[in-house]
Amino acid sequence: MTHRLVLTPGEPAGIGPDLAVRIAQQAQDVELVAIADPALLADRARAIGVDLVLEPVDYDTPPVAHRPGHLKIDALPMARPAVAGQLDPANADYVLACLDQAVARCTAGHAAGMVTGPVHKAVINQAGHVFSGHTGYLAARCNAPTPVMMLATDTGDLRVVLATVHIPLSAVPGALDGPHLAYVLDTVHTQLARRFGITRPRILVAGLNPHAGENGYLGHEDDEIIAPAIAAANQRGIDAVGPLPADTLFTPHQLARADAIVAMYHDQGLPVIKHAAFSRTVNISLGLPIVRTSVDHGTALSLAATADVDTGSMTAAIRVAGDMARHGA
Ligand SMILES: NC(=O)C1=CN([C@@H]2O[C@H](COP(=O)(O)OP(=O)(O)OC[C@H]3O[C@@H](n4cnc5c(N)ncnc54)[C@H](O)[C@@H]3O)[C@@H](O)[C@H]2O)C=CC1
Ligand SMILES: NCC(=O)COP(=O)(O)O
């Protein structure tokens, strides 16, 4: 069965439109529908010298496999024409409207999942919206608890989950409490089984402080908050181990026994996976009622409308979303 995925290219001045145009040239085992301004995609295709036929989607017909060189479109208008590389807060509402439309298509059953291109958080805030990323925004739109962000390589050999995401580093210790860590560990445990077929995943949990606190001499959160949360999770049947010193957590010896690593904060986990597999890593929202994947990179404004845009992560994000859709709810 062919699944239909909706694709939001994200910030119109960034490389998201390039990704949509370039990905449309490739064979895909899903039907792809871009939720975007058709003029934006046509302009970007022209700018990079790619032929692209845009076809209005009909959600009432069954999905058909993607035809390279063609792209189904669910049209939404931008406020102003986009200039590659130049942010314009006037188009922030359009970026959010595309996300809203994608959620609506998924919840209505018109699409089996959504794949998001990169958005620019600052320009959306500049336009007056409090916005820390898709993850929180989509949770609010879906009336879901804050989902858990996981970045995974396309082969699944490394999965990094973040216990906290887009908050200042100084706010991290205060955000780590027992109920929150319980929610993160429960979500990883249940979602890896439900969406990826990994029953009883083994989860390795990083400490917060150097050497996981060194028995409390280098910080108290590891012993007082993280260790009890892991022990409680073990009581609930979750195979979680830690807190483990983060500096040696990503060594091959440790990874060989892990289905997922839980890092305590953004820059504890993401540099490792991006170093290992930038452009073949996928951002996955765990715990949303809909399937949502994304790229491992940002808007790369200086590369918009150039020949230097790597589509690897978008290709992987589409494939993973298709696999998740096939696993079913
Ligand atoms: N999924 C999303 O919506 C994400 C959005 N962002 C946002 O993107 C904006 C820019 O963030 P930066 O930190 O500058 O990260 P970035 O990922 O846009 O750029 C980092 C470096 O990687 C390069 N790069 C990124 N994607 C590439 C690709 N597909 N092909 C070739 N080179 C690529 C860029 O040219 C730059 O040198 C920020 O507003 C950030 O919040 C960042 C990450 C994910
Ligand atoms: N660092 C990941 C990132 O910025 C993407 O976040 P989100 O938009 O998926 O919430």
Which residues make Cβ contacts (< 8 Å) with residue 237, sequence separation at least 6?
200
Q: Pick the closest to residue 19 from 75, 79, 84 (CA basis).
A: 84
Q: What's the pLDDT tens digit per position in 111-136?
A: 999 999 999 999 999 999 999 999 99
Question: Ligand 2 centre from 133 Cα, in Å?
Answer: 5
Query: What is d(CA 62, CA 42) in angstroms, rounded to the nearest whole number?
Result: 25
What CATH code is assigned to 148-287? 3.40.718.10
Q: Do 1-146+288-329 and 148-287 agree at the fold level?
A: yes
Query: What is d(CA 293, CA 273) in angstroms, rounded to the nearest whole number?
Result: 16
Best residue for ligand 1 mutational test, from 297, 308, 309, 315 (most atoms within 8 Å of Cβ):
297
Atom index in ligand 1 nearest the CA of residue 301 equals 18
Q: Is the CB of 264 under 6 A from ligand 1?
A: no
One-letter identity of residue 158: L
Question: Ligand 1 centre from 107 Cα, in Å?
Answer: 29
Fold of 1-146+288-329: Isopropylmalate Dehydrogenase (3.40.718)
Q: Please report the pLDDT score of residue 240 as a whole number.
A: 98
Question: Ligand 2 centre from 185 Cα, in Å?
Answer: 20
Cα atoms in the 13 Å half-sphere on the side-chain side of 306:
11
Q: Is the CB of 292 under 6 A from ligand 1?
A: no
The domain locations on the chain are 1-146+288-329, 148-287
Q: Please report the pLDDT score of residue 50 as a whole number.
A: 95
Which residues make Cβ contacts (< 8 Å) with residue 4, sequence separation at least 6?
30, 31, 32, 33, 63, 110, 111, 112
Q: Pick the closest to residue 269 from 285, 241, 254, 247 (CA basis).
A: 247
Best residue for ligand 1 mutational test, from 138, 299, 310, 315 (most atoms within 8 Å of Cβ):
299
Atom index in ligand 2 nearest the CA of residue 285 equals 9
ipTM above 0.95, yes or no: yes
Instruction: Give the 3-state secondary structure of residue 116.
Output: strand
Question: Ligand 2 centre from 92 Cα, in Å?
Answer: 16
Residues of the chain with pLDDT under 50: none
Q: What DSSP string describes 13-68?
A: TTTHHHHHHHHTTS--SSEEEEEE-HHHHHHHHHHTT---EEEE--TTSPP----T
Q: Please report the pLDDT score of residue 198 as a whole number.
A: 93
Q: Please report the pLDDT score of residue 329 as a whole number.
A: 54
**Phi, psi dihedral angles at 137 (to 5 degrees):** -65, -45
